[in-house]
Amino acid sequence: MQPFDGIRVLDMTHVLAGPFSTYQLAVLGADVIKIESPHNPDMTRIEGATPALNEAHYGTYFMAQNANKRAMAVDIKTELGKQVLRDLVKTADVLVENYRGGTLEALGLGYDDLKTLNDTLIYCSLTGFGHSGPKRSDPAYDIVVQAFSGLMAANGELDAPPVRVGPPMVDYGAGAQAALAISAALFQREKTKRGQRIDVAMADAALMMMSAHVSATLATGIPPKAHGNAHPKYAGYATYHTANGLLMIGAWSNKQMAMLFRVLGDEGRADDVEKTPRGEVGHRLADDTEFLHQEMPKKSADDWEALLNQAGVPASRVRALDETLAHEQVASRTVLQSYAGSDQPGYPSALPVAAFTYEHGGPALKSAPPKVGEHTTDVLNSLGYGHDQITALRAQGVVI
């Protein structure tokens, strides 16, 4: 048994953050029904690495966070479509949406409208800035929130223009926060027998992912400066060129820095750093950095990675993603799992599932990402709609 077996989730989200939140519930057993417009399905369906899949509305961007879901296409702007959604809500435990603030309320499908149909419904709204404040109605994507939140200004090289983080980390961070909030609300409902309204903001998620920077800025009034791959105080917490490749060293503590120097054969430097008060380690920065720049080119990044890790010093060669995905460490985990059809040309051979495992009933990939409207008939049948009703809805363009 998986944690969310028997839980029905209505997924009215698109792009990355919202679909990722419901995907995390789906891989843990929830019956997630992805609800899309017949005329304007999730835009990520046409985005990805394989042109033929994009043309088929099955892009790799979509596939990354929509497996294990069922899909139905219904036009909720029509009165008949609204009724279909209301019928679904009566059967649901959770509804997740990421429309711009006020959109569903204007359609009569906001939280206050739907809770009258199902007073135990957990309704999660995921937007760029949340439902309060002067920016509550402003549109947003990951990069916009990176710019607004200070994340972009904290990234990049020293004394250079801000650089956005490449992968959409705010989207996935917000999705993870939403999945946590929904999980907690389901647990809370077991005790209170009450539904819940959840307001998740991508901008808030960005601040949560910078918690240490946020607390430091609140204490001093000084925002963090970008410093690239070199820490402004600790020489052992930086990247260095080696004989072959770039190495990231994570010697943060004095003990780890001392061990780094011992691996490099400088016992005196190791003894000195062990005796240096933590607040004064930064005074060593220039000298220690110069020493490391001299020593690291004497071996390859792979050799240093093995030697330093064996000595308890965190370090890794800087790898491209294809190298990481081919590494035996990734193969030893269940973070990537195959799915039906994954052996087809141009398809991802596996999909990311979850960053954790359980002893039993853990995250699992059980079905491929759905095509547009693939399960519309099945879902409507489960609600009691007959063949003639479904045919009529299709003829009117309410569903596909």
Angle at CA of residue 177, ends 174 and 179, nearest 5°: 110
Task: Given the residues 57, 131, 231, 360, select the one marked as catalytic.
Answer: 231
* Residue 360 annotated in active site: no
Residue whose tokens read 């204007």: 106
Of 138, 98, 95, 141, residue with least CA distance to 118: 95
**Spatial contact of 35 and 72, defined as CB atoms under 8 Å apart:** yes
DSSP 11: E
Does residue 62 contact residue 371 with C-beta atoms inside 8 Å? no
Residue 194 contacts residue 120 (beta carbons within 8 Å): yes
CA dist 39 → 46, 59, 75, 109, 374 (Å): 14, 17, 8, 19, 15
Q: What residue spans of 110-210 are helical by DSSP H?
A: 111-114, 142-149, 169-192, 202-208
Residues 264, 293 contacting (CB under 8 angstroms) = no
Q: Find the DSSP H helices in the chain.
A: 17-26, 51-55, 60-63, 79-89, 103-106, 111-114, 142-149, 169-192, 202-208, 211-220, 254-263, 267-275, 285-295, 301-310, 321-325, 328-331, 376-382, 387-395
Distance, CA of 275 to CA of 265 (rounded, Å): 18
Question: Known catalytic residues?
Answer: 231
